[in-house]
Amino acid sequence: MPTTPLQFEWDSIVAVDDMDLKNRLKPSSILQFFQDIATEHANILDIGYRKMMSMKCFWVLTKVSAEVVKNPSMCERVKILTYPRKPSPVEATRDYYILDSKGEVLVRGSSKWCVLDFANKKIRRTSDVFSYTDEYYYPKDAISGGCTRLRPPADGKVIGDYEVKITDLDTNVHMNNAKYANLLLDYENIDFVQKYDLKCFEINYLGELAFAEKVKIIRAGESGERIYHGVKSDGRDAFLMSAKWEKRRGK
């Protein structure tokens, strides 16, 4: 496992509602684990919400990816680990691991962030708020290749519409980043979800979604690998998601 001066970890437990109908960790629960520890670590590093607001800027999550190596059990105690990678001039990377009690990897993940100016919403340099020398950064990706830029599918089919609910909203009154991952399950057939395991997924956040806003869900791909494209009513992109599904043994 990585060791870096900027590493942060804490212990947690897999709650009952973190699991899906086949006792697998829900993708939204994975992102919630990531979100919670990233928020706390940012505060410790003095680059959290209040500090950023005092600097007239804020963090924006642009991409996230996760790979499920092994599913934990319900009520299992786990360790969540995170650390920032060396940032580019305009983009910061944060990696994650969810480990079992033996230190073995259950889930690995990565995320991309940028800093926006509060007044004009333009991207600011990451060095304005976050800068360490190279020895502070762990040099290897948690996920090979990290987060990628997804492309809208050319052959997708509309599989439904989603309307943002009150329970989807965060304190900024926009759809919380973890909630997007629920759509990976909710817009699949229940028989498919019971027969296939979600092995890895990635989300590109392309536009904020507000309460009661409707988004058209377009899906493309075979049962193994699929792309999900969210399009707002005005035609603008809301998100792109990819997922790799693996048929369960004996199914």
The fold adopted by the segment(s) 8-136 is Thiol Ester Dehydrase; Chain A (3.10.129)
pLDDT at 4: 78
CATH H superfamily, domain 157-247: Hotdog Thioesterase (3.10.129.10)
pTM over 0.85: yes
Look up residue 160 and give its amino acid.
Answer: G
- pLDDT, tens digit (0-9, with 9 covering 90-100), for 53-86: 999 999 999 999 999 999 999 999 999 999 999 9
Q: For 2-19, how does the pLDDT look when each residue is reduced to its tens digit (9 = 90+)? A: 777 899 999 999 999 999
Q: What is the pLDDT of residues 129-160, one digit of tens each?
A: 888 988 899 888 999 888 999 999 999 999 99
Q: Could you tell me where in the chain the CATH 3.10.129.10 domains are found?
A: 8-136, 157-247
Q: State residue 18's pLDDT score.
A: 98
State the pLDDT at residue 202.
98
Residue 215 C-beta-side C-alpha neighbours within 13 Å:
25
Q: For residue 45, what are the CA distances in angstroms to 39, 40, 78, 123, 185?
A: 10, 9, 23, 21, 35
User: What is residue 223's predicted lDDT score, i.e. its pLDDT?
Assistant: 77
> Residue 133 has which token pair?
């020398």
What's the whole-number mean pLDDT along residues 236-249?
A: 95
| Residues 6+ positions from 186 with CB-CB distance below 8 Å | 162
Contact criterion met (CB below 8 Å) for 129 and 55: yes
Query: What is the predicted pLDDT for the residue at 250?
Result: 62
